[in-house]
Chains A and B, each alone.
Chain A
Amino acid sequence: QKEVEQNSGPLSVPEGAIASLNCTYSDRGSQSFFWYRQYSGKSPELIMSIYSNGDKEDGRFTAQLNKASQYVSLLIRDSQPSDSATYLCAVRVGGGSYIPTFGRGTSLIVHP
């Protein structure tokens, strides 16, 4: 059973702060890792993907992967109220059906 765990939150941060979202996974064969953002009432959209250990930066977003510890995180710098959403972590093992397993999501609230 592949498991992807996230704290459901809500995580509340002030505008301009760094928001840190964490995700752990159980399958050591996992090779691909994704962060989706889902605004209330909308569908998820991919914002970051990471495949190797270390950091990957894209604008205000940084994904961090540590395969030895089986966790992946998303940092949002200079958080804005428009970043308020639910962030879904998704993990895919190598080979097989190539279908990611989604975590339950973390709700982020950025308050002015």
Chain B
Amino acid sequence: DADVTQTPRNRITKTGKRIMLECSQTKGHDRMYWYRQDPGLGLRLIYYSFDVKDINKGEISDGYSVSRQAQAKFSLSLESAIPNQTALYFCATSDPSGDTQYFGPGTRLTVL
């Protein structure tokens, strides 16, 4: 079984809708991250969490929110989706050194 799982894997939604992307991990790591990837722009950090009570904004947090329900679960929400949030979203975990990021399979989100 995969160490980091994401649901859904693909999602098409309309402008203005609220959606949630979910991430679960079995690696036992405290640190979890949400990234988005756009063609030509690489991976950009949206939010990160170092433990259940710790939530931090990344470089592009506007329009997003997160919830850390447990050590193993970290969800990303788009309160009112807009077309420029169309992207590939990755969840990741790491050990405290942050040296290795373990990525989930990604969620391809399309906002019409």
Interface residues on A, range: 20 to 34
Interface residues on B, range: 20 to 34
Q: Inside 8 A of B43's CB, which chain A residues have their CB?
A: 44, 88, 102
Cβ < 8 Å to A, chain B residues 41-57: 41-45, 48, 56
Option from B33, B90, B101, B104 in Cβ contact (under 8 Å) with A46: B101
Q: Are A98 and B56 in contact (CB under 8 A)?
A: no
Q: Are B42 and A45 in contact (CB under 8 A)?
A: no
Q: Which of B44, B100, B104 has the most CB of A within 10 A?
A: B100
How far apart sit A53 and B101, CA to CA, in the bound complex (Å)?
22
Q: Inside 8 A of B99's CB, which chain A residues have their CB?
A: 32, 34, 49, 92
A98 touching B98 in the complex, CB below 8 Å, given contacts A42-B105, A43-B106: yes
| Majority secondary structure of chain B interface residues (helix, strand, loop or mixed) | loop
Q: Are A99 and B103 in contact (CB under 8 A)?
A: no
How far apart sit A36 and B100, CA to CA, in the bound complex (Å)?
10
* Cβ contacts B20-59/A at 8 Å (1 or 0 each): 0000000000000100000011111100100000001000
A97 close to B (CB within 8 Å): yes
Q: Give min CB distance, A33 to chain B, whole Å.
A: 10
A98 touching B97 in the complex, CB below 8 Å, given contacts A8-B40, A105-B42: yes
How far apart sit A103 and B96, CA to CA, in the bound complex (Å)?
22
Cβ < 8 Å to B, chain A residues 23-61: 32, 34, 36, 42-46, 49
A98 touching B96 in the complex, CB below 8 Å, given contacts A44-B43, A88-B42, A105-B42: yes
* Cβ contacts A83-107/B at 8 Å (1 or 0 each): 0000010101000011110111100
Option from A8, A42, A44, A105 in Cβ contact (under 8 Å) with B101: A44
Q: Which residues of A contact B (CB under 8 A)?
A: 8, 32, 34, 36, 42-46, 49, 88, 90, 92, 97-100, 102-105
Name 9 A/B residue pairs within 8 A (Cβ), A-sorted.
A8-B40, A34-B99, A36-B101, A97-B48, A98-B98, A99-B33, A99-B48, A100-B98, A102-B44
